[in-house]
Amino acid sequence: MRFYIPVLFVFVVLQACNGQKNSQVEYAFTNELINETSPYLLQHAHNPVNWKAWSDKTLAEAEQKQKLLLISIGYAACHWCHVMEHESFEDSTVAAVMNANFINIKVDREERPDVDQVYMNAIQLMKGRGGWPLNVIALPDGRPVWAETYVPKDQWIASLQQIQDLYEDSPEKLIDYAARLEEGIKSIDLVNINTGQIDFSTLNTDSILNNWSKRFDNKNGGMEQVPKFMMPNSYHFMLRYAFENKDEALMQFVNTTLTKIAYGGVYDHVGGGFARYSTDAKWHIPHFEKMLYDNAQLVSLYSDAYSITPTPLYKEVVYESLEYIKQEMTHQSGAFYSSWDADSKGPNGELEEGTYYTYSKKELDSILGDDFKLFGQYYNVNAYGKWQEENSYVLIRKKDDSEILEEFKIDQSTLDAKKISWKKTLLDYRNQRPRPGLDDKTLTSWNSLMLQGYIDAYRVFNEDVFLETALKNAHLLKDNQILDDGRVWHVFINGASSVNGYLEDYAGLASAYISLYEVTLDQQWLDLSLKITNYARAHFIDLDSRLYYFTSDEDTKLVSRSLDYRDNVIPSSNSIMAKNLLKLGHYFDLPEFIEDSQTMLHNVQPEINQFPSGYSNWLDLALNYQGDYYELVVVGDSAEEMIKEFHQQYIPNKLIAGSVVKNDAPLLKNRWVEGETFIYVCVNNTCKLPVTTIEKALPLMGY
């Protein structure tokens, strides 16, 4: 049952406090963020606010002084975080109010997603919405009593004074409200144990997709809503379902969506890579920040889409996006950075959103000369592509190449050469502008997604450089982020590891290492995946539901210990873990892993019908249980070459095991024959007679 907090209560009690206390309090300026490594926290290190980082020491100070906590959560690429900092946190009058009455805590939501989850749940209960910056006032013990996103300066001061007055005059009202809100926060992630018999045939995927399709925007792609997020995991599931069920209408919708996204302004047509989301229905005007996790998942999605529908556009998107990651988001060590900011300095020297990416018609005409007419038609430097607010243009495509070729009477090779020239010219021009801010911290979870992206691109396009990049990153994570007992660090920056890992780190890294094994046949990656999964089973699991908590039992307790099981822009860590357990159960002959995977899916199954987009990765897992799930085993001298050929086929309902030498692993034992390479197609380790060619193996899997 969901728990809703009446917003009216907070409004009424705050309105009751009309008097404002005007006494001046002397305070010492002690902003402690200068000692942090998070780029977001360092952005605030010179504010006149007495900021502290989230820590046991800070919380103990609040308890000892019995002062309210003011918790402000954001991230480095967040536009409205910058706006509020400039308006309020850099203002000495605002700082005086904050410093006099509160223990002020700045939180990087990417560094501390556990803290962010708790207080995001709180604002969702109070307001029915959320976002960043997320500003929360809490009792000294951390239980929230007030929350809001961006707040203008005057309203911010008034709110702080009202709440402080209430805390001094009627603290019991806040304490009572905090208790009820705490109950609501804890109820959000409660999973009712499904006591019915496990039977995934009752999960009617056809019906779920039929209901889901009522929200499809068949003209522009994506869902009929604004803003539009890419939600790559949803389209990954739809892509698979359409392929396996020969659903041409659904496949058309997915291809329309991927094409429109790649045509849109959310895709950086000059430098490659994707912005976070679109503010309009046609994917034109983005929120300009670029996040590693979006680009990672979209590389995987477009790679898989290409393996089914080899559209040149999809390949172009993958290659250009990975070039962007290489040039702008990769440290020489192989670590991937977290994000590029939405804002950069404009001509007036002030931070402006999108100014790095947009152009005036006059600029483009001057830069491109005689090519401007063709360029302007291709990228709609016209009313269709105009950013009305700024009298500038965000590049967006509307026509496919064939229409442009016909209109301008040129051939494809000429157009391709011009596109390469345009992009180089505009990129050189753009790079003379002030660049967006870079968040250069490395997160294990997001690096795992990007590692997966490089592996998927290598699997589909067979580019050795993609595998080389993947291996460099995989070794960096292995050498720096994994301890001997399997414990994982969350953050890596300036050569140092920190922050005890979250479930997203364990699940994401285990998944990427399994995929790396499948393209290299290097057993170390499979063994590492099992090692960190075993640690997670020991320290994160809820023994009743078999789902996993987001935090380890070794972490300091928060208001609530959350279960991350609803898929969002990134798949939930529990759905990733459930997939890992299925594969590892087969690889290492661990039936208890497979049983846990089934139990996890069984316990979330009742919620799937209500909100399918929140369970797309679970639905993908369900397809593995609703049909045959194949163990494709290749053993012999030519195993690596054969597996490369298999990777050219889109076969989502399988895992791959193989070896070029004799191997006693459960799936490989007794299958080595000197001088031969055999392919075994198995289901639950029951195999059909071995074959020696891919052409003979594919029909055994229905392909």
Distance from the Cα of residue 102 to its chain's centroid? 33
Confidence (pLDDT) at 189: 82
List beta partners, residue 339: 291, 439
Q: What is the mean pLDDT of residues 421-436?
A: 96
Amino acid at 460: V
Does 618 map to a domain? Answer: no
pLDDT at 13 over 70: no
Does 609 map to a domain? Answer: no
Residue 469 in tokens = 């990049």
Please tell me the total count of domains within the chain.
4
Distance, in Å, from the CA atom of 529 to the CA atom of 522, rounded to the nearest integer, reads 12
**Taking the CA atoms of the chain, what radius of gyration do you get in angstroms?**
27
**Could you list the residue range(s) of the whole structural domain that residue 427 is in?**
357-432
What does the angle CA 62 – CA 549 – CA 630 come to, to the nearest 5 degrees? Answer: 160
Number of CB atoms found within 10 A of residue 486's CB: 18
Does 161 map to a domain? Answer: yes
CB 515 within 8 A of CB 471: no
- Report the chain's mean pLDDT, rounded to a whole number: 93
Q: What is the pLDDT of residues 606-627, one digit of tens each?
A: 999 888 889 999 999 999 999 9
Confidence (pLDDT) at 690: 96
pLDDT at 601 over 60: yes
State how far the alpha carbon of 283 is from the alpha carbons of 30, 218, 241, 380, in Å. 44, 13, 25, 14
Please, which pLDDT band fits residue 149 given cuts at 50, 70 and 90?
A: very high
Distance, in Å, from the CA atom of 637 to the CA atom of 519, rounded to the nearest integer, reads 16
Q: What is the pLDDT of residues 505-546, one digit of tens each?
A: 999 999 999 999 999 999 999 999 999 999 999 999 999 999
Does 571 map to a domain? Answer: no
pLDDT at 4 over 50: no
Same-domain pairing of 365 and 270: no
Please, which pLDDT band fits residue 390 given cuts at 50, 70 and 90?
A: low
pLDDT at 370 over 60: yes
Q: What is the pLDDT of residues 260-277, one digit of tens each?
A: 999 999 999 999 999 999
Q: If you ran DSSP here, which 8-state letter would residue 88 be given?
A: I
List beta partners, residue 671: none
Q: What is the pLDDT of residues 564-583, one digit of tens each?
A: 999 999 999 999 999 999 99
Distance from the Cα of residue 478 to its chain's centroid? 21
Same-domain pairing of 331 and 380: no
Confidence (pLDDT) at 609: 82
DSSP states along 112-148: -HHHHHHHHHHHHHHHS---SSEEEEE-TTS-EEEEE
CB 649 within 8 A of CB 655: no
Residue 393 in tokens = 């243009």
Distance, in Å, from the CA atom of 187 to the CA atom of 181, rounded to the nearest integer, reads 10
Helix (H) or strand (E) holding 96: helix 92-101
Same-domain pairing of 143 and 262: no
Q: What is the pLDDT of residues 507-517, one digit of tens each?
A: 999 999 999 99
Please, which pLDDT band fits residue 2 given cuts at 50, 70 and 90?
A: very low
pLDDT at 19 over 60: no
Same-domain pairing of 176 and 247: no
Same-domain pairing of 384 and 303: no
Same-domain pairing of 253 and 368: no
DSSP states along 460-513: HH--HHHHHHHHHHHHHHHHHHB-TTS-BEEEEETTEEEEEPPHHHHHHHHHHH
pLDDT at 26 over 50: no
Answer with the residue of higher pLDDT: 418 or 18: 418
Distance from the Cα of residue 381 to its chain's centroid? 32
Please, which pLDDT band fits residue 29 given cuts at 50, 70 and 90?
A: low
Answer with the residue of higher pLDDT: 387 or 142: 142
Distance, in Å, from the CA atom of 576 to the CA atom of 504, rounded to the nearest integer, reads 8
Of 5, 114, 189, 284, the closest CA to residue 614 belongs to: 189
Of 600, 658, 598, the closest CA to residue 624 belongs to: 598
**Terminal CA-to-CA distance of the chain, rounded, Å?**
44
Q: What is the mean pLDDT of residues 73-86?
A: 94
Domain boundary at 432, 463, 488, which? 432
Confidence (pLDDT) at 611: 87
Q: What is the mean pLDDT of residues 670-674?
A: 93
Does 344 map to a domain? Answer: no
User: Which residues make Cβ contacts (< 8 Å) with residue 576, sequence separation at least 6?
Assistant: 504, 507, 508, 511, 617
Distance, in Å, from the CA atom of 272 to the CA atom of 293, rounded to the nearest integer, reads 15
Domain boundary at 283, 307, 339, which? 339
Phi, psi of 4 (to 5 degrees): -115, 135
Sign of CA dihedral 314, 319, 320, 325: positive
Residue 83 in tokens = 């706006």
Does 666 map to a domain? Answer: yes
Does 96 map to a domain? Answer: yes
pLDDT at 16 over 90: no
Same-domain pairing of 37 and 174: yes
Same-domain pairing of 82 and 182: yes
Same-domain pairing of 119 and 18: yes
pLDDT at 353 over 60: yes
Domain boundary at 415, 432, 449, which? 432
Same-domain pairing of 119 and 262: no
pLDDT at 388 over 90: no
Of 218, 229, 125, the closest CA to residue 178 belongs to: 125
Same-domain pairing of 108 and 136: yes
Please, which pLDDT band fits residue 3 given cuts at 50, 70 and 90?
A: very low
Of 537, 574, 566, the closest CA to residue 552 belongs to: 537
Distance, in Å, from the CA atom of 91 to the CA atom of 613, rounded to the nearest integer, reads 42
User: Which residues make Cβ contacts (< 8 Å) with residue 554, sequence separation at least 6?
Assistant: 500, 539
Confidence (pLDDT) at 569: 95
Distance, in Å, from the CA atom of 435 to the CA atom of 327, rounded to the nearest integer, reads 13
Helix (H) or strand (E) holding 574: helix 573-587
pLDDT at 561 over 50: yes
Does 246 map to a domain? Answer: yes
Q: With H, G, I as helix, E, B as strand and everything else as coil, classify residue 172.
A: helix
Distance, in Å, from the CA atom of 253 to the CA atom of 260, rounded to the nearest integer, reads 10
Q: What is the mean pLDDT of residues 334-362?
A: 92
Same-domain pairing of 36 and 179: yes
pLDDT at 24 over 70: no
Confidence (pLDDT) at 347: 86
